[in-house]
Amino acid sequence: MTSKIDWSRRRAVAVHDETARIFSAEYADTNPFDSPFRYGRHLIDQVWAKIVAELPRGAQCLDIGSGIGAYMARLLAAGFDVKGIEPSEEMRRLAADHVPAELVSDGPVLDLSAFKDSQDFVYAIEVFRDLDGADNQAGHRQIYDALKPGGVYFGTYVNRWALDGYRQVVGLRRLKTALGLTPPRYHVEFETPSSLRAKLTAAGFRDIEIRGAMFAPLRLAHKAAPRLATALGQRTMAREGWLSDRPLTRPFAGHLIAIARR
């Protein structure tokens, strides 16, 4: 019998095989305002880029769930030594258009033994959301072990209380599945700033910083009125620090960003 954890792992890979071309199209467009995906990634990228700017020259970097290789390509262009792991075959195929194919290997975050104590920077963007809580715990520990002492981890997570109502949508889907009305789609792991900090602390990390990003109702606005949402995003972008990354607003942001050190 397939366990819930095994199912969530396999389904995460299948979903990314199915949506790889959609991701590729999103990355090909540079306008952050007409897509909630690109708006959120723009904010994530700003924080990511600041961490990258502080890395030593020639730093060893590891991209967990490297997708089509967009972030790897940026690091390679900046002169860093970077490798990626990506369990989706279709994502790896598309990544070959952006980075040398030999730099991306098949594999999960659950086994990083080949990288033990070797990495200056490990990042996992929208990876742990697809994995069960136990796999999250194991994956965080694997990342910790892959880092050199003083190495930096950067990861993004789905906020449990985000104002876009995504948790409620997932809850409704789970109820329909439990009632036998629809097949299960995929697993979503939610976090809060405090739960995320606790998990990273348990994995051994120190100097943990949790950031909030993306004025969450923009996702709802894009579904209801795309043109209005585009105009709204142009107004909120400059105010994101106030809207999504203050102590009182962070628990309701669309994304949680974790930065931590070994």
Strand, coil or helix: 158? strand
The answer to whether 255 and 156 have CB atoms below 8 angstroms apart is: yes
- The 3-state DSSP class for residue 131 equals coil
Task: Residue 254: name the closest of 22, 106, 38, 91 by CA.
Answer: 38
The third-level CATH classification (topology) of the domain covering 4-261 is Rossmann fold (3.40.50)
Q: Which residues does the chain have with pLDDT short of 70?
A: 1-5
Angle at 148 between CA 199 and CA 135, to 5 degrees: 30
Cβ distance 87 to 141 under 8 Å? no
pLDDT at res. 6: 82
Contacting residues for 42 by C-beta, under 8 A, at least 6 apart: 32, 237
pLDDT for position 177:
86
Model pTM above 0.85: yes
Q: Tell me, what's the pLDDT at 1?
A: 40
CB 32 within 8 A of CB 38: yes
Residue 62 contacts residue 151 (beta carbons within 8 Å): no
